[in-house]
Amino acid sequence: MSDVRRMWILTIVAVVCTLAAGSVRAADVFPDKNLETVVREVLKRKQIDKPEIEEADLKTIYFLEAPQRGIKDLTGLEKCTNLVSLSLPGNEIESVQPLAGLKNIQTLTLSGNKIADLAPLEALANLQLLDIAGNQVEAIDAVANFANLRTFWASGNKIASLEPLAKLSKLQSLDLDGNQVENLSPLAELRWLSSLRLRNNKVSELSPLAGLRDLKFTFLNGNPLTDLGPLVEMARKDIEGEQRFAPYWNVFVEVDGLSDGARAQVEELTALGVRVNPERT
């Protein structure tokens, strides 16, 4: 074989190998057929429609939304390294390990799944919104790393300790309805909180909320409350001073279950201009 012919064959082989390296069988990348279908739908909207998916194709995906698609396994999403927003509510996901390296993600919705462990998410420092409502989460240690987090919705889990939230100074909306929270002390320095949902927990002491002067909505229904004094004091100081939040504050409590003293405090709040149990539209 001549040297020229040998070089020509080697060149063809090199080109074929290069092309093969960039293309992958979708079934190999996405073992979950439902997830593969969703990814193909996203790519098709980008005019990328072919039997084999190239890794470069997956890097064109910035937004992926797939509610209630029966997805169980997220394997393959680790190759979608440019994802900024991922919404997968109402699926059957148990492990979030494939998301561990997706450091560009800013909004992540995983509500209504079967997730118990958030640890794989701990490096997602750019997260601004995290929705894990309706899962099986007990520990939220990973959330402590999300310094940019503004919205954290975690209702319907098994969360007891809020300590990981203590330094999330940008947090504005926090939903912890239906958990096992007793101690609100970790929330004391979250000065930007405007919406706080704590319905159906085990909260009895409200004094940690005393410095939260941006609150607009505070849901406390279904807690063993006996003293609303800290709320009254918050409102009084604001009315006598800057009037920054009290005139716009909506507080929700179960008046029927309160002691006579606490009911009197509800009347004080109302007299100060706080909207207690306002009709919601």
How confident is residue 21, by pLDDT bands cut at 50, 70 and 90?
Answer: very low
Task: Say what the pLDDT of residue 281 is.
Answer: 35
How confident is residue 24, by pLDDT bands cut at 50, 70 and 90?
Answer: low
Residues contacting 10, CB < 8 A, separation 6+: none
How confident is residue 28, by pLDDT bands cut at 50, 70 and 90?
Answer: confident
Domain 162-281: state its class. Answer: alpha beta
- Is residue 276's pLDDT more than 80? yes
Question: According to the 3-state scheme, what is the secondary structure of the chain?
Answer: CCHHHHHHHHHHHHHHHHHHHHEECHHHHCCCHHHHHHHHHHHHHCCCCCCCEEHHHHCCCCEEECCCCCCCCCCCHHHCCCCCEEECCCCCCCCCHHHCCCCCCCEEECCCCCCCCCHHHCCCCCCCEEECCCCCCCCCHHHHHCCCCCEEECCCCCCCCCHHHCCCCCCCEEECCCCCCCCCHHHCCCCCCCEEECCCCCCCCCHHHCCCCCCCEEECCCCCCCCCHHHHHHHHHHHHCCCCCHHHCEEECCHHHCCHHHHHHHHHHHHCCCEECCCCC
pLDDT > 70 in the chain, percent: 89
- Is residue 10's pLDDT more than 50? no
- Ranges for all domains in the chain classified under CATH 3.80.10.10: 1-159, 162-281
C-alpha torsion 154→158→160→164, nearest 10 = -50
Mean pLDDT in residue range 169-184: 99
Contact 177, 200 (CB under 8 A): yes
Mean pLDDT in residue range 202-210: 97
| CATH number for the domain whose boundaries are 1-159 | 3.80.10.10
- Is residue 42's pLDDT more than 50? yes
pLDDT > 90 in the chain, percent: 87
- Is residue 103's pLDDT more than 60? yes
Task: Say what the pLDDT of residue 246 is.
Answer: 95
For the chain, what is the mean pLDDT?
A: 92
| pTM of the model as a whole | 0.90
Please name the residue that has the structure tokens 């997260």. Answer: 127
